[in-house]
Amino acid sequence: MFLDLPQPPIAARVPWDTPLRPRIDEVLARRCRIAWLYLNPDTSTFRYRVFNMVEGLNRDPQCRAAATWFSGDELDHIHHLIPLLHAIVITRFQYGAALDRIIRLAQRVGTRILFDSDDLVFDVRYAPLVMDSLALDTESHAVWDAWYSYMGRLAATGNRAQAGITTNPFLAARMGEAFAGMPTSVVPNFLNRDQQAFSRQLLEAKRSRGWRRDRHITIGYFSGSPTHRKDFAVAAPALARLLDRDAAVTVRIAGYLDEAGALSRHKARVEIVPHMNYIALQRSIAEVEINIAPLQDNTFTNCKSELKFFEAAAVGTWTVATPTSTFAAAIVPGETGALARAHEWDDALQEAVDLARDTKRYAALADAAAEHVHVRYGWDQFAEQILRAVEAPTELTQ
C-alpha cells in the first residue's frame, strides 16, 4: 500500500448545494441556455451526468452556452424559464405529473427535449436481466413491481424526447432500439474539477516520494453501489487463491459491499471500509497498488461506463477489469491497465502483483496511464462534445 498520501480537503458542503435563484441566474448568463433535470441530487448518476456536465460548460471560458440543473421538487417553479431555454436534458427522471407539465410546455414553445441515461434501465424487456444482474430477490412481487414501474416510467420519459445522450456506443445502440431509432449521442463520464485536482495532488505525491509503499501489496475493490455481489464473485475465487499462496497480498473492499464472500477464510487480511464521499474515495483508491473492476458479461453490464478505470488511473493505480465493450475500448492491455475474462483472473491478478513488485516498471506504466486519463477524461475536455450532443445528436448503431 502506498504511504503518506495527502488527506482530502474538508468541504463544508457538497458543490451542488446551491439555492434555486443562483442556478436560475447562472443559466441566463449566455444566449445558449441548457437545463438538466434530475429527481434528487446524489453522488452517483447526478454527479456524472448532471453536475459534471453543467460544470464542464459553465467553467469553460470559451463555451457559448450556460447551463444549470433543477430537481424534481423545483419543476413547478421554473415554468417561466422554459421559453428561454435552448434545450432540456432529462436524466433518469421517471415520468410524472410535474415532468409532464414541463415537457408539454417545452413542446409548445420549441425547447428541445433530450433524454440521458447511464444504464440500461429504460427498456422493460431487460428488467429480468437487470434484476438478476443486481442480485435482487426475483421471488418478490414487490421487486418486480418496483423495477417494472421504474423502468416503464423512464421509458415514458424517453419516448417524449427528441434525442438521447448516453455514456458509450453500446448503450447508445440499446437506446436507439428502445426508442424507435431515436438519434443518440455519446458523452462519456468524466472527472469533475475538484475530483481531478485532488487526483493530481495524490499522483504528484506518489511521484515525489518515489512510489514508496509498505511491505504489502493491496488489491482494492470499490463497489460503488450495494448491488455488485455477483460482479465481485467473478474475481473473488481467484483473489482468494492469490491470498492462499502470497502472504504479502491484502485486500481493501470499499463502498457498499460489506462482506468478504469467498475471501472469508482470509478475513484478517481483508479491510472493509465504509462508503465515503467521492473526493475521499480518490485517496482510498490511490493507496492501493491494484484496482479490480470485475463484471458479469451480459447486455446490462456491457452498458456500464469505464469510470472505475479512469478514476483509478487518475491517481496512479493500476486496474484489472473485465473486457466489457467499454473497458475493452478504454484500456490498452499492458499499457494503461489489464483485461481479464472470467477464466483469466488467476493469471491477471498474479501478473498485476508481479508488476507492483517491480516499482520502476509499475511507476512508468501508472504514470503514462494517469497522463492519458487526465487528458481523455478531464473536466475541461467536453464542453464542445456536450454542445454537439445537445444540438444535433446523430443516430448510432451497434
Long-range contacts of 17-24 (CB under 8 A, 24+ apart): 20/70, 20/74, 20/77, 23/68, 23/69, 23/70, 24/68, 24/78, 24/81
- DSSP, collapsed to helix, strand or coil, labels residue 326 as helix
Burial class (CB in 10 A: 0-12, 13-18, 19+), 115: buried
Kindly state whether residues 231 and 167 are assigned to the same domain.
no
Instruction: Tell me the per-residue pLDDT of 214-228, one tens digit each, with 9 for 90 and over.
Output: 999 999 999 866 678
Q: Give the pLDDT confidence score for residue 162 in this predicted structure.
A: 97
Kindly state whether residues 183 and 222 are assigned to the same domain.
no
Average pLDDT over residues 67-80: 97
Instruction: Tell me the per-residue pLDDT of 117-143, one tens digit each, with 9 for 90 and over.
Output: 999 999 999 999 999 999 999 999 999
Instruction: Tell me the per-residue pLDDT of 26-65, one tens digit each, with 9 for 90 and over.
Output: 999 998 999 999 999 998 899 999 999 999 999 998 888 9
Asked whether residue 13 is domain-assigned, the answer is: no
Domain at 180, CATH number? 3.40.50
pLDDT higher than threshold 90 for residue 292: yes
Kindly state whether residues 249 and 361 are assigned to the same domain.
yes
Evaluate whether 171 touches 110 at the Cβ level (below 8 Å).
no
Kindly state whether residues 171 and 254 are assigned to the same domain.
no
Kindly state whether residues 36 and 159 are assigned to the same domain.
yes
Out of 7-16, 214-223, 344-353, 380-389, which region has the weakest mean confidence (pLDDT)?
7-16
Kindly state whether residues 43 and 120 are assigned to the same domain.
yes
Q: Give the pLDDT confidence score for residue 224 in this predicted structure.
A: 67
pTM of the model: 0.94
Question: Element (H or E) spanning 284, and its range?
Answer: helix 278-287
Asked whether residue 7 is domain-assigned, the answer is: no
Instruction: Tell me the per-residue pLDDT of 258-276, one tens digit each, with 9 for 90 and over.
Output: 666 789 899 999 999 988 8
Q: Which three cell numbers stand for residue 377?
A: 477524461
Average pLDDT over residues 316-345: 98
Q: Give the pLDDT confidence score for residue 395 in this predicted structure.
A: 56
Question: Element (H or E) spanning 184, and its range?
Answer: strand 184-186
Kindly state whether residues 154 and 242 are assigned to the same domain.
no
Domain at 273, CATH number? 3.40.50.2000
Neighbour-count burial for 341-360, b at 16+ CB within 10 Å, e otherwise: eeebbeebbbebbebbeeee
Domain extent for 174: 20-187+382-391
Kindly state whether residues 199 and 182 are assigned to the same domain.
no
Burial class (CB in 10 A: 0-12, 13-18, 19+), 277: exposed
